[in-house]
A = this chain, B = another copy of it.
């Protein structure tokens, strides 16, 4: 009943989510799951959709967004490799809907796991429930960090976001982004106007804190200079 390629499975076995769970059990947790491929800017699901399945990110990235009353998008979380998307609503009893939308950032591959599998195996699996707990806890801490900085000037908040992003998507020691983050997305993530973000980052580009890289769209960030820019 396995429709997942061996190379993908190998990767999945090493996800922290499944730490301490046997391969047999992992296979059961993935029963009836299918690999799904998204292009750039494709919706995985929208807020209000029936929550009939959830996903595990294999490659690429997915942003979780809500829509503000004004019609703007607010980004709540970036889900990268190994992260769960839409899983947290699964434990609700009865039919339920996603409270949030999920949209791909660049080409993305993920495993789509039916809700029935969740009900059958995830729901009653203590280790998994504890892992989900840990994921929720980490995600909550990230949002709280954001909120803690809500009184800081915008330059500081942008710098913070960038540094976090570098930590998440770069090889250690390197500062070459592997996942593009547009100015629009930075703005949506902080809940501010794009123009404000652009004005600040243009300065940083002028003084060399951010350098254009050979690969289109991906920039190189000089963390030390970023810090230096904040010293006043």
Contacts and interface: CB of A to CB of B under 8 A. Distances in A.
Given A88-B137, A126-B124, A140-B143, A68 B132 contact: no
Contact of A143 (B124, B137, B143, B151): B143
Nearest to A139: B140
A91 interface: yes
Interface residues of A, number: 38
Copies in the complex: 2
A-B interface, 9 closest residue pairs, ranked by CB to CB distance from nearest: A150-B191, A136-B136, A129-B129, A66-B148, A126-B126, A143-B143, A151-B191, A88-B137, A74-B148
Interface of A: 66-70, 72, 74, 76, 88-89, 91, 99-100, 123-124, 126, 129-130, 132-134, 136-137, 139-141, 143-144, 146-152, 156, 191-192
A176 to B, nearest CB: 29
A77 B67 CA distance: 22
Interface of A is mostly: mixed
A99 B141 contact: yes
B69 A152 contact: yes
B140 A91 contact: no
A151 B91 contact: no
Contacts of A130: 91, 123, 129
Nearest to A129: B129
Contacts of A69: 149, 152, 156
Contacts of A147: 66, 74, 76, 143, 146-147, 191
A140 B151 contact: no
5 contacts: A66-B144, A69-B152, A99-B144, A143-B144, A151-B191
Given A66-B148, A69-B149, 8 more contacts: A74-B147, A76-B147, A129-B133, A136-B136, A136-B137, A140-B140, A140-B143, A143-B144
